[in-house]
Structure 1
Amino acid sequence: MVLKTQNLPAATELSSARAGFIACLPTVPGYWSIGFAAGAIGTLAGFSVGQTALLAAALYTGSAQFLFYSLWAADAEMTSVVLSVMLVNLRYLLMSSAISVFFRGQRGWQKVVSGLLLTDETFGVAIQHGNQHGKIPFGWMFGLNVTAWLNWIIACVVGAWLAAALPASLMAGLSFSLISMFIGLILMTWFASRRKALETLAIIVAVLVTFFSAGHLDISVVVIIAASVAASLATLLLRLKSQQGVNHGA
């Protein structure tokens, strides 16, 4: 009887992790589609399959990986690359803060592990689970995160391996894909957005800042400035609009 009681927590954690694994399955096709493209772009940017795998495991964010490959291919300074990646990933601080209320009572290292593997997709799945149950068990979050993380790495490796297997002449002809991928991501985000006017304004501002600054500053610095100015302006306008809505409601 004592042995059964001692094994109960481990069995509960395993069952919880299995439930997290099942909850992640609907998002796996998304990881594979974007991860496959990220791995292929990494090969086109000059990285080996092993290097792409390490980057996918350590950086583990699609938008930052695409940005990293783009800046690397443009011979940007490492400082600019690091700052750009940090800027793109700042949203995870907000996500971690928003989801932290469901991890009360857990140990510090459990919160750190859950936060390190957080993505846009796992955040969406986890926040729904937290709203329904009032808390998120560590085992469940671990199963969710690890499933997503492993699928992302495998997808990047497969994409990088297939791209590396292509003939050199075909690889040279696909060099345009790095730019076209960014254009495609922007268009996909724009069409799916509910605030098309605001995002269109942000894109125009970023293009104008880039156009007038490109001849005076290093291109990697221009990228950071353009993204910061456009994002700050969009955030300010969105906040002003929200305040106006509150005032009208009052």
Structure 2
Amino acid sequence: MEKSYTKGYETFKEGVIACIPTILGYFGIGIAAGILGKNAGLSVFSIVLMAGIIYGGSSQFIIIGMLMTNSPISAIIFTTFLVNARHFLMSLSVSEYFRDFSMGKSIGIGSLLTDESYGVLMTQIMTGKQVSFNWINGLNITAYVVWIASNFLGALLGNLIPNPEQLGLDFALVAMFIGLVVLQIQGELKVRRTKTLLILLSVVMSVYVLSNLISLEISVLIATLIGCGIGVFLDDAK
């Protein structure tokens, strides 16, 4: 059944405004990543380059930690791939909403899609709002620039703040993402409370059980697939 959309967000500026919660979270966690990178012996240029190419908070923290323990490059690359593999799932889940876009535009959207921008995007989609290419660019590009800038600032402050955890900067991204998830599912809870709660419970329980057997990164991926499978099954069973 074709899903209908109401007139939504179209301009680049509206995308920038929608990115404000992400900006607030990125400043805290980006500065923390820059500080830790500097304390690990990385140059300011290396930290900024990593932020621009890797563009992932969890991955960058893992890379910095593995560099500090002199882990082999092959292990760092493989671990980073596993941690970021969830982006395949996120891109696939929104691909149907951009099927009319050219391949170049789709690649541009997918390349800058993060957990947080995905959360903001899905919040609009779940409320029946259509979003334009300009809007998603406003959201993605703003988040990307802020992330690089905050890493750069953290690298400059690296010698002044040796322990960012004392300021609570390590929790900034977690708090922001919790807020985005709540905004995304609150509409679903009103109309499909039981199904939504079952999916959430299945994901949480899967992560808990699997993390005791395999790595946390793989556990999250498998739990996500389980949650998607249960969602499809419950949707078809109505």
The whole-number CA distance in structure 1 between the counterparts of 2:221 and 2:33 is 27
Does 1:65 pair with 2:60? Answer: yes
Residue 154 of structure 1 and its aligned partner are, at CA, apart by 1.0
Residue 204 of structure 1 and its aligned partner are, at CA, apart by 3.7
Tell which has more relative contact order, 1 or 2 (C-alpha 8 A, sep 6+): 2
The whole-number CA distance in structure 1 between the counterparts of 2:138 and 2:100 is 19
Q: Partner of 1:130 in structure 2?
A: 125
The whole-number CA distance in structure 2 between the counterparts of 1:99 and 1:121 is 14
The farther-off stretch of 195-204 and 115-124 is 195-204
**Distance change in 2, residues 1:45/1:109 (3 Å):** same
Q: Partner of 2:213 in structure 1?
A: 205
The whole-number CA distance in structure 1 between the counterparts of 2:211 and 2:105 is 39
The whole-number CA distance in structure 2 between the counterparts of 1:85 and 1:154 is 22
Check conservation: 1:31, 1:155, Cα contact below 8 A: yes
Residue 229 of structure 1 and its aligned partner are, at CA, apart by 6.3
When Rg is computed on C-alpha atoms for both structures, the one with the higher figure is 1
Residue 202 of structure 1 and its aligned partner are, at CA, apart by 4.1
Does 1:109 pair with 2:117? Answer: no
Q: Could you tell me the percent identity over the aligned residues?
A: 29
Does 1:88 pair with 2:83? Answer: yes
Larger relative helix fraction? 1
1:190-232: per-residue Cα shift (whole Å, max 9, x none)?
xx996665544444435xxxxxxxxxxxxxxxxxxx4466557
**1:17 maps to which of 12, 15, 18:** 12
Query: Which amino acid is 2:154 matched to?
Result: G
**2:45 maps to which of 18, 34, 50:** 50
Q: How does 1:158-197 map to 2 (within 5 A)?
A: 158-165=153-160
Q: Partner of 1:144 in structure 2?
A: 139
**Distance change in 2, residues 1:99/1:203 (3 Å):** same
Q: Partner of 1:11 in structure 2?
A: none
**Distance change in 2, residues 1:63/1:232 (3 Å):** closer
Query: Which amino acid is 1:205 matched to?
Result: L
The whole-number CA distance in structure 1 between the counterparts of 2:222 and 2:126 is 32
Check conservation: 2:33, 2:57, Cα contact below 8 A: yes
* Paired residue total: 201
**Distance change in 2, residues 1:228/1:142 (3 Å):** closer
Residue 160 of structure 1 and its aligned partner are, at CA, apart by 1.4
1:46-76: per-residue Cα shift (whole Å, max 9, x none)?
1011110110011101011111111111111
**Distance change in 2, residues 1:129/1:229 (3 Å):** closer
Check conservation: 1:23, 1:144, Cα contact below 8 A: yes
Q: Partner of 1:120 in structure 2?
A: 115
Check conservation: 1:64, 1:85, Cα contact below 8 A: yes
